[in-house]
Chain A
Amino acid sequence: MSLMALREQLNMLLNSMYIEGLLDQQFQQLQMLQDASSPGFVAEVITLFCEDAERILTELTKLVDQAVVDFQKVDAYVHQLKGSSSSVGAQNVKLACIQFRQFCEENNKVGCLNALNVVKHHYYLLRNKFDTMLQLEQRIQAYDSKQQN
């Protein structure tokens, strides 16, 4: 695929993510922070976010599964995930976390179980698109460096 076609695919992917609410304006901030001196910045942040999110989701799954749920602990993890999704611009995940915290506050176990599923749904959808995004970026950068040689 030509460089132009790759770039177009990436743009279309990003646009769809904004339109569908997967990403918000914060992601644009991240893109603004990437430049020649820090070309892998966005990829690095995305990777850190995904690692963080998956670690938290694993913990949450265990915690919400208990006979007696420790809602404070659950809330603390959801708060963390809300923070990192907010920092990376992961809008749908962030919103799902906000809902989740409501159920924690109400000590509502069923609500929490459902909310966790919603968060997971949005997170994995986003993760999928992030993977595609990073692959496209890598191919684009490889193209660029080939052209320069």
Chain B
Amino acid sequence: MAVDAEAQFHVLAVDDSLMDRKLIERLLKTSSSFQVTTVDSGSKALQVLGLKEEHQTSTSALSPQHNEIEVNLVITDYCMPGMTGYDLLKKIKESSSLKDIPVVIMSSENVPSRINRCLEGGAEEFFLKPVQLSDMRRLGPHILKGKHKEQQQLHQEENSNNNNMSNKRKVMDEEILSESTRLRFSSSSLNLI
């Protein structure tokens, strides 16, 4: 799978409030021209991520379906009916195909035990609502870390199937790709408000 150096980062935002979805979408697009998809529930989020709940077993290495979109970060509200943001976080982290996607949790309530639980559950950040433009700055490093992990994983998978010649070429390609990612990070970090 070739990584397009020009591709935008894609964020999946999950919130049951229409107003908050509008807000987070605008915040994301304004701060960093992310590509944004919004959904109103955890189960819809899992569908978008390509994870079918019914077929998932605790140990299966579920491969993403071909029609799912690539997501570089999930930002979710904590308090949602049905599946909470924490439940969604756990499902993502328990999935072998999705566990490297960084997850950020938002909540209108400042409850330290809740915050700790989320961070211990694997969330990268916890944002207090209402989310501000300045909070968007904190997303960049996590998205890049996730992207880098994904590239590493792909590289490992491809390597195990290839002979030496292709390995050498692919190692060079990966270096070039991570160079362009690093360059893009340093230029985009200058642009983040």
User: Interface of A with B (CB < 8 Å)?
Assistant: 26, 29-30, 32-33, 35, 38, 41, 44-45, 48-49, 52, 79-80, 82-84, 86-89
Contact = CB atoms under 8 A, between A and B. Distances in A.
Interface of B: 17-20, 22-23, 26-27, 30, 79, 108, 129-130, 132-133
A48 B22 contact: yes
Given A83-B108, A87-B130, A33 B17 contact: no
Nearest to A49: B19
A21 B20 CA distance: 22
A87 B20 contact: yes
Contacts of A48: 18-19, 22
Contacts of A41: 22, 26
A30 B27 CA distance: 9
Given A45-B19, A52-B19, A86 B133 contact: no
A57 B172 CA distance: 62
Contact of A45 (B22, B30, B108, B129): B22
Contact of B129 (A30, A32, A87): A87
B26 A33 contact: yes
Contacts of A88: 19
B26 A80 contact: no
A48 to B, nearest CB: 5
Contact of B132 (A29, A38, A86): A29
A52 B18 CA distance: 9
B133 A83 contact: no
A45 B19 CA distance: 6
A29 B17 CA distance: 18
A83 B27 contact: no
B20 A84 contact: yes
A32 B26 CA distance: 11
Contacts of B79: 79
A44 B18 CA distance: 11
Contacts of A52: 17-19
Given A80-B17, A84-B17, A87-B23, 9 more contacts: A33-B27, A44-B22, A45-B22, A52-B17, A52-B18, A79-B108, A86-B130, A87-B19, A89-B130
Most interface-central of B18, B27, B133 (chain A CB within 10 A)? B18
A110 B133 CA distance: 40
Contacts of B18: 48, 52
B133 A33 contact: yes
Contact of B26 (A26, A38, A82, A84): A38
9 pairs of A and B residues whose beta carbons are closest in the complex: A48-B19, A87-B130, A83-B108, A33-B26, A26-B130, A84-B19, A33-B30, A86-B130, A87-B20
A110 B79 CA distance: 28
A81 to B, nearest CB: 11
Nearest to A47: B19
Contacts of B26: 33, 38, 41
Nearest to A80: B17
